[in-house]
Amino acid sequence: MKISYTLLILIAGTSLASAGEVPKEGTYDYVGLSDRTSSEMKLPGGAVAQTNEFTGMIHAKIPGTMFDNSSFRCIGSTVTKDKVATGRTICEAVDADGDKRYASFVAGEDGKTVRSQIGGTGKFDGLVTSNMTIENMPTPPTIQPGTIQGCNHQTGNYKLK
């Protein structure tokens, strides 16, 4: 489902910074790559319920900058009706230092997804992000049934505690 894939792209871009020193405040620019497995259930009235699990990694445009070389895992569920997906996904991401960040994504009936930081460890304790832009890249062909691979380009601002 393309709507659920768009949610995947939003989530994929939430991973953590790489090891090494990064400025306490600045911008980020990276590509997120991910793989998703899902399970679907058809509901009355044409709606579809779906559970999703994503795993992936981030590569920053400039190696060693914020969000470079990190991995993430997300678990969520959505209901899609009339091409509009609503639902919630929670993500955990880890960088090369072992510092983690947790985020929540809520997709509303207005077609917009709201991202909230819900915690972090180490350097990500108190992380704030803003002005995020996401460019979804074309979906490649599926290599194995039940999986979807994808990537996106994201930019924005961050501030560390």
pLDDT, tens digit (0-9, with 9 covering 90-100), for 39-94: 999 999 999 999 999 999 999 999 999 889 999 999 999 999 988 889 999 999 99
pLDDT at position 140 is 87
pLDDT at position 2 is 46
Distance of CA 139 to the CA centre of its chain: 15
pLDDT band, very low/low/confident/very high, at 6 (cuts 50, 70, 90): very low
pLDDT at position 113 is 77
Q: Find out whether 61 and 32 touch, Cβ atoms under 8 Å.
A: no
CA distance 94 to 102: 9
Q: Which CATH number fits domain 2-159: 1.25.40, 2.40.350, 1.25.10, 3.10.20?
A: 2.40.350
Give pLDDT tens digits for 103-133. 888 888 887 777 778 889 999 999 998 887 7
Q: Find out whether 16 and 72 touch, Cβ atoms under 8 Å.
A: yes
Q: pTM score, two decimals? A: 0.77
Question: What is the domain partition of the chain in residue ranges?
Answer: 2-159
Distance of CA 68 to the CA centre of its chain: 14
